[in-house]
Amino acid sequence: MIFIAFLVNLVPAFAPPTWVVLSVYQVNHLELNSLGIAFFGVIGSVAGRFVMYQYSALVGRHVPRKQADNLRHFRELVEEKRLGLFFGTLVYSLSPLPSNFLFIASGASGMELLPVIGGFAAGRFVSYAFLVYASSRAYSALFGIFGTAHVRLGADILGLLMAASTFFVDWSKIFERIKKHPPRPDSDEALP
């Protein structure tokens, strides 16, 4: 189960969602605990996304200088709020949406991995446990809704577009705008 979750999380696009793979495993082994399946699934997912981060970092080292500067600004902007990065990743990881773009963008920009991987692991554990449990109770309905090829293709295309956007957004302008107009200390935006 860990190895399958690892392999699914190595692929940058068009792989089935990990929770679906874990749910199929649960449906075929109803005697197993959903929390245990989620725990081992997260181990495989984290390992796979770690490798994805590493090969994205290699790609990030070989981008043209203009894109490299742009990615540096993206990294500086995001890493400024380390706790916010952790919680943002955690909240996003609670959803069943693809997380490939998080690790592609993090690796390519050279972003610090610990807050991203920590938020990812915590969020995915909760979402996997819930989704695996729910699917073991109503797997035929869930597979009817989420098993359609066009829904999965749309989610993968969205994930690829989000990953690609980190290369084409002018992060230096956003970074400079935020530096010129920082949030007021008494506003919600100032919280980490």
Question: Where are the chain's structural domains?
Answer: 2-181
Q: What is residue 191's predicted lDDT score, i.e. its pLDDT?
A: 47
Residue found by looking up tokens 């997912």 in the block: 45
Closest among 10, 81, 88 to 52, alpha carbons compared: 10
d(CA 117, CA 125): 12
Give the distance from CA 185 to its chain's centroid. Answer: 30
pLDDT category at 41 given cuts 50, 70, 90 is very high
pTM over 0.85: no
pLDDT category at 62 given cuts 50, 70, 90 is confident
Q: Render pLDDT for 120-177 as a digit per residue (tens, 0 to 9).
A: 999 999 999 998 888 777 655 545 555 555 545 555 666 667 667 666 777 777 777 7
| Range of 56-70, 84-98, 152-166 with top mean pLDDT | 84-98
**Angle (deg, nearest 10), helices 18-28 and 2-10:** 160
Q: What is residue 52's predicted lDDT score, i.e. its pLDDT?
A: 92
Residue found by looking up tokens 């649960």 in the block: 26
Neighbours of 91 (CB within 10 A): 11
Q: Residue 49 half-sphere exposure, CB side, CA atoms within 13 Å?
A: 26
Q: What is residue 135's predicted lDDT score, i.e. its pLDDT?
A: 77
Closest among 41, 192, 8 to 130, alpha carbons compared: 41
